[in-house]
Amino acid sequence: MQQKSSLRIASLLPSTTEILCALGLEENIVGITHECDFPESIKNLPHLTASRITHETMSSAEIDHAVRSQLDGHGSIYDLNAKLLAELKPDIILTQELCEVCAVSYKTVQKAAKMFVADAKVVSLEPNTIGDIFENIKTVGGLCGASEKAETVVANLENRLTKVRAKTANLKKRPKVFMLEWLEPPFAPGHWTPEQVEIAGGDSLLGKAGEKSRVTTYERIFEEQPEILVLIPCGFYTKDILRQLTETKFPSKWRELPAIKNENIWAMDASAYFSRPAPRVVDGTEILAKIFHPDIFGEPSEAEAERVKINFL
C-alpha cells in the first residue's frame, strides 16, 4: 500500500469527502465535487464536477423534469472535468453507482480514469442502509491507510445510535412520520432514512429501509394521515426548502392532516443529514429524536430543524 502521507485522492461524492475528513485524510484530497461543502475547510479545493441544473433558480417540478429528460435520453446532469482530473493525478478516485441523480455516472468516471489517469484505482461505494454506510467508512479507511481511525469513528457513531435506541426501544407511542424526499412529484423515503426514523422513535410511513426512494402521490400520503411531516427534498438545504414551498401546490385537503393541524411540520437540511451516506446521518437521527420526542430528548434548535408555518402549505 502506498504511504498515507503521499496518497492523492479525488472525491467525486460529497459523502466521501466528509468520510475522508472524518478519517483525518483531508490533506490527501486533491479534488472534490461542486457540491462538497463540509467541512468548510475543503471548499476551496479544485472542483472536478459541475451541474446542469440548480436548486436556486428552478422549482422542484422543473428540476424533476430536467433530470428525467436528461436521464431518459441516457445523458447526465453532471459534467466531469477530465482534463483537471488528469492534472491532479489521483491515486484513488472515490465514486458511486447508486444514483445517477446524485453524482457523475460511474461509467463516465471509469472512462475518464482509463483515458487520463490509468494508474488510478476507481472505487465505487454502494450503501443502502446505515450499516452499509459504516462499512463504507471502514472500506475507505482500509484503502487509504486509516483502518484504525475508521474503526474508532464507526464505533463512536454506533455508540451514539445505541444511546438513542435505548431511549426509544420501549416507547408506548411512536408517531406516524412521513419524510418527504421530494416536493413535486412527492417521493417516499428510501435507503437509510426509514431506519433513521425508526431509531429516533417514529413509525416511518410508505418508505422501506434499504430500498430506493419512490414516487408517490399527495393522495397516498393523505391516506396515511401522518402526525409529523419532515421535509427533506434530496440535496436541499433548509433555506432551499422554504423558498420552494412558496411555489409548491399541495392539495387543499392536506390542511386536514394531523401533522398540519398540530403544526408539526419541519424542514431539515437534507444535504447534511439525509441525502449523503456519511457520518452526519447519525446527527440527523438524533435531531429526529428531538422532533418526535422533545419530552425525552429536548427541543431541536432552529439550526437543527425549522418548524414550518402552516401558511407555507
Using the predicted structure, report yes or no on whether residue 72 has a pLDDT greater than 50. Answer: no
Q: In this predicted model, what pLDDT tens digit does every residue of 33-65 receive, in sequence order?
A: 999 999 999 999 999 998 776 656 666 666 665
Output the pLDDT for position 68: 61
All three cell numbers of 150, joined, read 475508521
Rounded distance, CA 6 to CA 169, Å? 46
pTM for this entry? 0.91
Report yes or no: 141 and 24 within 8 Å, Cβ to Cβ: no
Length of the chain: 313
Cell of 225: 394521515
The radius of gyration of the chain from alpha carbons, rounded to an integer in Å, stands at: 20
- What whole-number distance in Å separates Cα of residue 198 and Cα of residue 1? 40
- Is 204 or 58 the better-scoring residue by pLDDT? 204
pLDDT tens per residue, range 260-270 = 999 999 999 99
- CATH level 2 (architecture), domain 4-150: 3-Layer(aba) Sandwich (3.40)
SS3 of residue 222 by DSSP: helix
| pLDDT (tens digit per residue) in 130-144 | 999 999 999 999 999
On the question of a common fold for 4-150 and 172-312, the answer reads yes
Residue 226 pLDDT > 70: yes
Instruction: Name the one residue in this structure whose C-alpha cell is 408517490.
Output: 216
Residue 111 has pLDDT above 80, yes or no: no
Tell which wins on pLDDT, 143 or 107: 143
Domain map (residue ranges) of the chain:
4-150, 172-312
Distance CA 242, CA 276 (A): 20
Q: Please check whether residue 268 is in contact with residue 285, taking contact to mean a CB–CB distance below 8 angstroms.
A: no
Please tell us whether the domain made up of 172-312 is placed in CATH 3.20.20.70. Answer: no
180-190: pLDDT as tens digits: 999 999 999 99
Distance CA 109, CA 122 (A): 8
Residue 20: what pLDDT? Answer: 98
Q: Name the grid cell of 286.
A: 438524533
